[in-house]
Structure 1
């Protein structure tokens, strides 16, 4: 298995994981977030397949996750829901690690890339995965420190401990 094939498998595994989490969160607003992340990962796999097959592809900005800030709007509602979901923090930590691994892999591929199109692809994927990472970092903080969370987690300033 070459590096592109590995990256495709990793993206499809991520898609599968997020779809499972969406199913597990059908009764709350995280369902939509997990479904959007699953679609993003599927799109990343398609981009990588196009790169592998030397098919032309477009790296348009992905506005899909632009509305995730809305998920964090009512922190008191979230606090109540999260207290009822066992092991949810473990789910977020697992996803955070998956995104971190993806970022590191794509940074490595970016450094090794020799042509401009490949460099653009891996630079784009690094940014996409960094956005996913931020989502789970915010969710973990929300669950661990709900009383200290600001009104809008996506744009708020958090004090680091």
Structure 2
């Protein structure tokens, strides 16, 4: 499997996991975050498919600004049991996928022979890092809801994160 096929499969796997997580939560904001993460993964896969066809892909903006807004609104809710502890293993799996995705894009960056490819993989690495931070925040929400309400921060890290 070449780097493009591997990347596309990795993005599809992440999309499937986020759609599963969205189906398992009733809290509208959290459901929307999972759906947006899944939609971002679809955009990533499509961009890699374009690159694979030797065309210039454009890295579409991700969901960061909207995720920040949702997290901020959740802070005003009673957070006990917003997310079931039963989802922790899947959340940890999602966080691992995002970490591996970021590392993959960083490792493969130098192997690409076009500036467009390197630019895309750099952008995807940054977006995967943001996804990692988002899922990490959700894990904190499940494990330590009161701490999360008092301490969680959702600050942008620059335009290329989303």
The TM-score, its normalising length taken from structure 1, stands at 0.84
Give the CA deviation at 1:140: 1.4
Q: Where do 1:10-159 residues align within 5 Å?
A: 10-60=10-60, 62-73=61-72, 74-75=74-75, 76-82=77-83, 85-149=84-148, 150=150, 153-155=153-155
Contact 2:105–2:125 (CA under 8 A) maintained in structure 1: yes
**Which runs of 5 or more structure 1 residues have no equivalent in the other structure?**
156-161
TM-aligned CA distance change 1:79 to 1:111, over 3 Å: farther
Aligned to 2:158: none
Q: Which moved more, 1:135-144 or 1:102-111?
A: 135-144
| In structure 2, distance between residues paired with 1:112 and 1:51 | 13
Q: C-alpha separation between the residues in 2 aligned to 1:79 and 1:132?
A: 23
SS in 2 for 1:81: coil
TM-score, length of structure 2 as denominator length = 0.83
Q: Which runs of 4+ in 1 moved over 6 A?
A: none
Structure number with bigger Rg: 1
* Post-superposition offset of 1:25: 1.7
Gapped regions of structure 2 (runs ≥ 5): 156-162
CA positional deviation for 1:48: 0.4
Aligned length: 152
- Whole-angstrom distance in 2 between the partners of 1:144 and 1:116: 42
Q: Does the aligned pair in 2 maintain the 1:21–1:34 contact within 8 Å?
A: yes
Which of 1 and 2 has higher RCO (CA within 8 Å, sep 6+)? Answer: 2
Compute the RMSD of aligned alpha carbons.
Answer: 1.9
